[in-house]
Amino acid sequence: MSDDDERTLGRIETEVALLMRFGEATRRATGTAEHRVLDRAAYVILRHLDAAGPQNVSALAAQLNLDGSTVTRQVSALQRDGLITRTPDPSDGRGTVISPTAAGLQRMAAVRSARTRLYGELLADWSDEDQAALATLLGRLNQALVNRNRRR
């Protein structure tokens, strides 16, 4: 690896670390309550269930690259809050399938809308091409992370 490659990868590592830090700080500091009606884990679970449909805990854990016990705890909290329901798994009578409730989808949509507005404000002076390039590159980075985690 050349020095230039190493410097570039170091910059990427630093920028990703800062992105994660600033993203969380921005979420906590944003004045609107919409950003805070769901914690990050609940939001990700509800987004996934909305996109992929009802799933059992094992499939959900695999898709989100989380330990099953972690997902079980998060799902229990979501159920207590009325944001998901559990029904018997038709393919395995011993298990359950998790689905978002209307209230869960409503909260998830409120957070997504608030975040979309925030990014619209942050990127208002970026060209459409730069915004599209950022979306593409972030998508590629996320897919590379998913692929790496699946190989483990």
Neighbours of 46 (CB within 10 A): 24
CA separation for the pair 128, 43 (Å, rounded): 27
Question: In this structure, are 64 and 128 located in the same domain?
Answer: yes
119 CB-contact burial (10 Å; exposed 0-12 / middle 13-18 / buried 19+) = middle
Question: In this structure, are 123 and 104 located in the same domain?
Answer: yes
| Parallel/antiparallel/unpaired status of strands 92-100 and 84-89 | antiparallel
Q: What integer pLDDT is reported at residue 30 of this predicted model?
A: 66
Query: At residue 23, does pLDDT exceed 90?
Result: no
Question: In this structure, are 72 and 92 located in the same domain?
Answer: yes
CATH (domain of 75): 1.10.10.10
Question: CA dist 10 to 3, 4, 45, 122, Å?
Answer: 10, 10, 31, 25
Q: What integer pLDDT is reported at residue 35 of this predicted model?
A: 54
Q: Which residue segment(s) compose the domain that 126 sits in?
A: 34-151
Q: What integer pLDDT is reported at residue 130 of this predicted model?
A: 97
Question: In this structure, are 17 and 41 located in the same domain?
Answer: no
Say whether pTM exceeds 0.75: yes
Note the pLDDT tens digit of each residue in 60-71: 988 888 888 888
Nearest-10 Cα torsion for 95, 151, 67, 101: -60
Helices assigned H by DSSP within 30-127: 40-52, 57-64, 68-80, 102-122
Question: In this structure, are 14 and 68 located in the same domain?
Answer: no
Contacts of 1 (CB under 8 A, 6+ apart): 9
Question: In this structure, are 52 and 13 located in the same domain?
Answer: no
Question: In this structure, are 72 and 121 located in the same domain?
Answer: yes
Question: In this structure, are 76 and 64 located in the same domain?
Answer: yes
Question: In this structure, are 10 and 81 located in the same domain?
Answer: no
Instruction: Count up the domains in the chain and report the number.
Output: 2
Cβ-count burial 18-37 (b if 16+ within 10 Å, e if not): eeeeeeeeebeeeeeebbeb
Q: Identify the residue with better confidence: 31 or 139.
A: 139
Question: In this structure, are 20 and 45 located in the same domain?
Answer: no
Mean pLDDT across 88-103: 87
Query: At residue 41, does pLDDT exceed 90?
Result: no
Mean pLDDT across 35-58: 86
Q: Identify the residue with better confidence: 63 or 136.
A: 136
CA separation for the pair 37, 69 (Å, rounded): 23
Question: In this structure, are 95 and 140 located in the same domain?
Answer: yes
Q: What integer pLDDT is reported at residue 33 of this predicted model?
A: 61
Q: What integer pLDDT is reported at residue 36 of this predicted model?
A: 60
Question: In this structure, are 63 and 1 located in the same domain?
Answer: no
Query: At residue 27, does pLDDT exceed 80?
Result: no
